[in-house]
Structure 1
Amino acid sequence: MRMIITAGGTGGHIMPAVAIAEAIRELSPGTRILFVGTDRGMEERIAGLYGLDFTAIRALGIKGKSPVQVGRAAVTNTAAFFKALKIVRAYRPDWVVGTGGYITGMVVLAGYLQGAACAIQEQNSIPGLTNQILSRFANRIFLAFPDTRKVFPQRKSVVSGNPVRAGIIQGKKAERGQSLLILGGSLGAGSINEAAVEALRILKQEGLVPDVVHQCGPRDYDRVVSAYRDMGLTAEVHAFIDDMAPVYNRASMAICRCGGLTLAELSAMGIPAIMVPYPHAADDHQTANARYVESHGGGWIIPDRELSPQRLAGEIKARFFERDTLEKAASCIAGLGLGQGSQFIAQEILRCSGA
């Protein structure tokens, strides 16, 4: 079998594509896989790390752009579509699988026109524009969250959870960690970093000192390190963490943004979270993601506009230091199965292919 996996733009789109490719190769080692992404560099670098063949296409987004930018994008994306057609014709895939980003639109549509079976995977509660359009052409639509808004055709849709890399799931240990994990995403989150440091200062004054692992992004790294040093609190601070599995194994609770992939990894590892949705996410999808987790007992929301050191210190005190509460929430977020998509999606594609 031949397969094209396509994604672009952010790690939240790219890493699910990699996870699906890993699962396909595990279940069907003879399957040939080509990763098609943008020419911005991230996709090619990650594909190389995981041993995937890669081809780049230049594409531009249109949502929220000015009329002039939309016009330029139309020209660029027309050329991108024809390049996608050329790639698909040459590769002759049985399946084209897209996990989000504008590049996915051109490649999946090209696959559809060339007779390949097509699938899309949506990581968030509120689907992106590209996936909404592609749902008309897809044979299978794999969802991380229930489609409560009925955006997608029900006959083609299945709630699979998000694909999570094998290295994270296989690295999970039975014994739970005891650390507080602070995550701001790969580029950090200034409001979380600032509030978390000051919240821990408040807790330290009350004699409550958790073991802390803090990923703060490169921009805030020096400031965060200095703040912990000045208050005399020992914390493990990283600008970025490449291998999350050991860090997840040390954590009993997280403070984080609410992208679909982040919540999927926390669900796979059974780590409840104080969730601070990114207020400028497209269609406010992070708030919708967080509400789903909170409504099922897997975490607690603090809106970004309400985030303060005092509020966060109170939440940490009420959650992290109350072990019964924490254990119940851990069970709830694990039970959601938000990170179980890799094997499910791979098995469904192979089943439909008769492989």
Structure 2
Amino acid sequence: MTTSSPPPLIALAAGGTGGHVFPAEALAGILLERGYRLALITDRRGAAYGGTLGRLETHRIRAGGIAGRGALSKLRAVAELGLGVLQARSLLKRIRPAAVIGFGGYASIPGMVAAVAAGIPTAIHEQNAVLGRANRLLASRVGRIATSFAEVSHVDPRLLPKLVHIGMPVRAAVAALRDAPYPPLDGDGPIQLLVLGGSQGARVLSEVVPAALAQLPAALRLRIRIAQQCRPEDLDGVARAYEGAGIACTLQSFFADVPERLTAAHLVIARAGASTVAELTALGRPAILVPYPFAIDDHQTANAHAIENNGGAWLMDQAGFTAEALAARLGSLFSQPGILARTAGCAARAGRPDAAERLADLVAGLITPMPGD
């Protein structure tokens, strides 16, 4: 008589911003559908996760970021990471995962270091077009490096055989809309414009976009329907600016329905974070991307360049992102809807809407014994 063994347990090491968390959530959904058991290894911020990650068996360990800190803070962060590695080693001995998958950010480091030391199959996923600091630390130690972009900088050439271009996994709500066609834009119809500023909004977008739209001809302003994410303290001022320009607007500090708004948009103006770029390309929507200029390693500029080079977006660096420059760009684009439609097509071709499935396949390959093993 034989007894069936439980399905393999996969541990996901993730935490921090949406760019690290969204792909972990997307992968978790696919792995659960395939029958795997899952555990999440994260830091103290893991208590706030909802969705699929919020339903997983969650283990919180110590972690601390090092980049950009003073000497004393770095010492404390190293101590936190060391304690986190000890916690992770004990945890992995107890839960015995078949593989551990990391998603960058300092929250992933202890779990990944402990997994490598224990000889557990490992892989990391890099969301940006620049290999992040945490993933750079881990790259030589893990088994595979999954990337969102075909070309990623700051990768040691000796590690290139480990790289697998799978794309950036997107949330299930985005993936469900990936076949929605680009909305037609006729000569007199409304123009749907969406402005996203990242998880906290972006002040520069709240200052420049209303001033730019106010410079457009009156007939064009009457056609614009803008939905804009703003910081809470900017909402009233932005609303007054649009009211004065006669532009219909919907303003919120957080949009719960971003996938639907992206699908309806003729044009998006946004930062160039990994999750934003992934959703734009998964849905095939043209964008003006304004990278956050103070990000470590300037990874948002690299992300924006990658999509612009594929013809799916226009990069405007923040120094040149003025009301006059944006008004000129918008006036040109809105008078040539064919350009917007072609750019939407290029954005769609640059995307990998099946990235979560591809990453799940990579995970399965890590734990499936090869013939003769």
TM range, smaller chain: over 0.9
Structure 2 distance, partners of 1:62, 1:326, is 42
CA-atom RMSD in angstroms: 1.9
Percent identity of paired positions between Structure 1 and Structure 2: 33
The 5-angstrom pairing of residues 53-202 of structure 1 reads 53-147=57-151, 149=153, 151-152=155-156, 153-172=159-178, 174-177=180-183, 179-202=192-215
CA distance change for structure 1 residues 188 and 25 in 2, over 3 Å: closer, same or farther?
same
> What corresponds to 1:6 in structure 2?
13
Helix, strand or coil: the match of 1:219? helix
> Does 1:217 pair with 2:217?
no
Structure 1 distance, partners of 2:153, 2:41, is 30
Indicate if the aligned counterparts of 1:213 and 1:235 stay in contact, CA closer than 8 A: yes
> What corresponds to 1:263 in structure 2?
277
Indicate if the aligned counterparts of 1:47 and 1:53 stay in contact, CA closer than 8 A: no
> What corresponds to 2:38 in structure 1?
33
Indicate which of 298, 301, 308 corresponds to 2:315: 301
Indicate if the aligned counterparts of 1:144 and 1:160 stay in contact, CA closer than 8 A: yes
CA distance change for structure 1 residues 338 and 256 in 2, over 3 Å: closer, same or farther?
farther
> Does 1:330 pair with 2:344?
yes
The 5-angstrom pairing of residues 12-27 of structure 1 reads 12-26=19-33
How far has the Cα of 1:345 moved from its partner?
Answer: 0.4
TM (norm. structure 1) is 0.94
Question: Runs of 4 or more off by more than 4 Å in structure 1?
Answer: 47-50
Structure 1 distance, partners of 2:350, 2:43, is 32
Alpha-carbon displacement from aligned partner over 1:212-238 (angstroms, at most 9, x marks no partner): 111123232232223223333211112
Helix, strand or coil: the match of 2:89? helix
How far has the Cα of 1:351 moved from its partner?
Answer: 3.3
Indicate if the aligned counterparts of 1:18 and 1:50 stay in contact, CA closer than 8 A: no
Indicate which of 243, 247, 251 corresponds to 1:233: 247
How far has the Cα of 1:96 moved from its partner?
Answer: 0.5
Structure 2 distance, partners of 1:109, 1:67, is 23
CA distance change for structure 1 residues 213 and 47 in 2, over 3 Å: closer, same or farther?
closer
Structure 1 distance, partners of 2:335, 2:53, is 39
> What corresponds to 1:352 in structure 2?
366
> Does 1:246 pair with 2:251?
no
Structure 2 distance, partners of 1:189, 1:303, is 14
> What corresponds to 2:5 in structure 1?
none
TM (norm. structure 2) is 0.89
CA distance change for structure 1 residues 75 and 47 in 2, over 3 Å: closer, same or farther?
farther
Indicate if the aligned counterparts of 1:184 and 1:216 stay in contact, CA closer than 8 A: yes
Structure 1 distance, partners of 2:215, 2:163, is 47
How far has the Cα of 1:155 moved from its partner?
Answer: 1.5
Indicate if the aligned counterparts of 1:37 and 1:44 stay in contact, CA closer than 8 A: no
Aligned residues between the structures: 352
CA distance change for structure 1 residues 219 and 33 in 2, over 3 Å: closer, same or farther?
farther
Q: Aligned partner of 2:64: which letter?
A: L
Alpha-carbon displacement from aligned partner over 1:280-334 (angstroms, at most 9, x marks no partner): 0111111111111111111111110111111111111222442110111111111
How far has the Cα of 1:50 moved from its partner?
Answer: 4.7
Structure 1 distance, partners of 2:293, 2:302, is 11
- Give structure 1 stretches of 5+ with no counterpart: none
Between stretches 196-205 and 15-24, larger displacement belongs to 196-205
> What corresponds to 1:205 in structure 2?
218
> What corresponds to 1:310 in structure 2?
324
Q: Aligned partner of 2:180: which letter?
A: A
Structure 1 distance, partners of 2:109, 2:160, is 21
Structure 2 distance, partners of 1:217, 1:16, is 25
